[in-house]
Amino acid sequence: MLAGNRLGELDGLAIFQTVFEGLACVAERRLAHGRIQPGCIMLDTYQTPRLDGLGLKRSVTSDDAFTYCMAPEQVRAVGADIKADVYSLGVCLWRALTGRYPFEGEDKDEVRARRVEEDVPDPRSVEPDGSERIARLLSWMCARDPGDRYPTPHGASLDILRIMADRDPGGPGSRLSSPSELVELLEAADERGGAGETPRGLWGRGPAYAYQATYSTQDERLGERPFDSPAVTVGRGKGCELQIDNPLVSREHACIRRIGAHFLVESVSKTNSTTIREVVVKGKSWLKAGQAFVMAEKFHVRCTWRPYAVAAPAAEKRRNVDTSRWVSPPTERIPRELIAKVRRKAAEQKQPELQPTYSQPPTAAWRVPRAYLLHSKAGAETRTSLENPVQIGSSHFCDVRIEAGPDKSAMIVPCREGYRAYNLVSSTPDTVTVNGEPLHDQAALEHGDTIGVAGVELRFLSP
């Protein structure tokens, strides 16, 4: 991982920010690593940091390396938790930025004694050009007293992100000042680096960061698509990477942006809503992996990690990557006798089928109020029922035909909230108007509204 025996500050922070987030996932499951050392931090073919050695009883490398990274409470054998991992990972960062360990000695006993009796030195004593912000960060990570350290790896990861965004770290116990601060930090950090040939950590690219977007309604799964690009547009337009062909969805409804292991959702539509946990997204919002955002109160889009789900042809040719390694390895053939035994046991333990109860009345199907579209045809007024979607245009296949304008100009669609008008001509929004205002995408209709299509006026009536 080290080039020239040390890493640059931004490059090192980008790598360790991702490693601290991986350790935070371990802490969320109320677990700890216990033996973090430089050999546990590995980079794969695409320069993606990996935290290795979880669940192993033996060290990944020699015990000598772990001697330099042990927390004081581990030296005293008084019990250790996730804060000891924060200390050890802080020592690894100290070494990555300076090229040496903070405590060195002639033997292991001397190194352990110094760790218990002395504070970790300022990294600027080895690298005078080092940052004062990073020196404070390491002093909090590697504090002798566990109560003075970051209580969780997430806090350390957040302060690394603040430094990458050219801000001062908050220290242990600091929190986000607002929900939008995390979005601002991620965007600011993303703009500062990652433009090199091998962007790593927070600036990682390629199939190692591939994810899967699953879109569905409350009752039905509609489909799924894998992506490894940093930005994906969602909508019903033909140019959208994730296309949902439904009139309730705007042409460009939302945008999913990936920065490192984080997802950001931006609401693009001005007429339809985008929500996360029933909170309307205004601008951009952070999305946790595995969580769904909802478009137009109907369509759910969920992003989950699926590394190497998308192949990179250029990488295959350059590195001669065996694509068979990107799929699940074949499992051993299960004997038929074992399958029959499992099936018999399952049949014996089969629970009786529950009979349906009708204590609650069945939900009635929703009905939209009766409505009509009033327009003039051959000098006479004509009413068109709006029980079903109605297309308006100059084509013979349209329900309401007009003399001028495009083949399909507009559409009136019934929905739970009432009726909505849609402009089907994206290039010329002035072709369709509602009460004299150009209709850029769609709008809700009320009784008495006037709809203009290519100079022809139609009146919406909902008595």
Domain assignment of residue 448, yes or no:
yes
Query: What CATH number did the domain enclosing 447 receive?
Result: 2.60.200.20
Residues 240 and 156 in one domain: no
Confidence tier at 92 by pLDDT (50, 70, 90): very high
Domain hosting residue 184, numbered range = 9-190
The reported pLDDT for the residue numbered 323 is: 42
CB of 253 closer than 8 Å to CB of 177: no
Residue 214 falls within a domain, yes or no?
yes
Residues 208/46, Cβ–Cβ less than 8 Å? yes
Identify the residue with better confidence: 110 or 301.
301
Which of 13-17, 197-201, 216-220, 444-448 bottoms out in mean pLDDT, i.e. has the lowest? 197-201
DSSP letter at 106 equals S
Confidence of residue 329 (pLDDT cuts 50, 70, 90): very low
Per-residue pLDDT band at 350 (split at 50, 70, 90): low
Q: What is the pLDDT of residues 221-238, one digit of tens each?
A: 888 898 888 899 999 988
User: Which CATH number characterizes residue 155's domain?
Assistant: 1.10.510.10
* Residue-level pLDDT at 62: 46
Q: How many residues does the chain have?
A: 463
pLDDT of residue 160: 93
Confidence (pLDDT) at 5: 66
pLDDT digits (tens, 9 = 90+) for 299-322: 999 999 887 776 544 444 444 444
Residues 35 and 73 grouped into a single domain: yes
Percentage of residues in the chain with pLDDT exceeding 70? 83
CB 257 within 8 A of CB 230: yes
Residues 163 and 228 in one domain: no
Instruction: Grade residue 64 by pLDDT with cuts at 50, 70 and 90.
Output: low
Check whether 23 has a pLDDT greater than 60.
Answer: yes
Q: Which residues contact 151 (CB under 8 A, 6 or more apart)?
A: 83, 172, 173
pLDDT for position 130: 87
- Rounded Cα distance between 254 and 268, Å, is 5
Judged against a pLDDT cut of 60, whether residue 177 lies above it is answered with: yes
Q: Please say if the pLDDT value at position 442 is more than 90.
A: no
What's the whole-number mean pLDDT along residues 122-142?
A: 91
Domain count for the chain: 3
What average pLDDT does range 421-439 have in this prediction? 83
Same domain flag for 165 and 215: no
Q: Does 212 share its domain with 183?
A: no
Let me know if residue 329 belongs to a domain.
no
**Domain termination site, one of 305, 336, 362:** 305
**Domain membership flag for residue 197:** no
Claim to verify: residue 168 and residue 57 sit in the same structural domain:
yes
Does residue 238 share a domain with residue 161? no
- Name the domain boundary from 159, 190, 221: 190
Q: Is the pLDDT of residue 342 over 80?
A: no
> Which of 282-286, 346-350, 414-418 is predicted least confidently?
346-350
Whether residue 320 is contained in a domain is answered as no
Does 27 share its domain with 162? yes
> Do residues 248 and 142 both lie within one domain?
no
Give the range among 12-26, 87-101, 255-269, 336-350 with minimum mean pLDDT.
336-350
What's the pLDDT at 87?
A: 92
The predicted model gives 98-127 an average pLDDT of: 85
Higher pLDDT, 270 or 316: 270
Return the closest-CA partner of residue 160 out of 191, 127, 182, 128.
Answer: 182
Residue 28 lies in a domain: yes
pLDDT at 93: 92
Q: Who wins on pLDDT, 91 or 178?
A: 91
Q: Sign of torsion, CA 273 274 278 279?
A: negative
* One domain for residues 264 and 389: no
By three-state DSSP, how is residue 168 classified?
Answer: coil
For residue 133, pLDDT over 90 is answered with yes
347, part of any domain:
no
Please give the pLDDT value at position 302.
92
> pLDDT band for position 173 (50/70/90)?
confident
Task: Return the structure tokens found at 452.
Answer: 């203009």
39 pLDDT above the threshold of 60 = yes
CA–CA separation, 334 and 330 (whole Å): 12
CB neighbours of residue 62 within 10 Å: 10
Q: Are residues 76 and 179 in the same domain?
A: yes
Whether residue 341 is contained in a domain is answered as no
**170-177 contact pairs (CB < 8 A, 24+):** 171/136, 171/140, 172/140, 172/148
Residue 229: predicted pLDDT: 85
188-202, 242-256, 358-372, range with the lowest pLDDT? 358-372
Q: Which of 283, 305, 327 is the last residue of a domain?
A: 305
pLDDT over threshold 80, residue 103 = yes
Query: Which pLDDT band, with edges at 50, 70 and 90, does 70 fall under?
Result: confident
Kindly indicate the confidence band of residue 292, based on its pLDDT and cuts at 50, 70 and 90.
Answer: very high
Of the candidates 314, 317, 322, 211, the residue with the CA atom closest to the CA atom of residue 261: 211
Whether 288 and 250 share a structural domain: yes
DSSP reduced 3-state for 408: coil
Averaged pLDDT, 258-268: 90
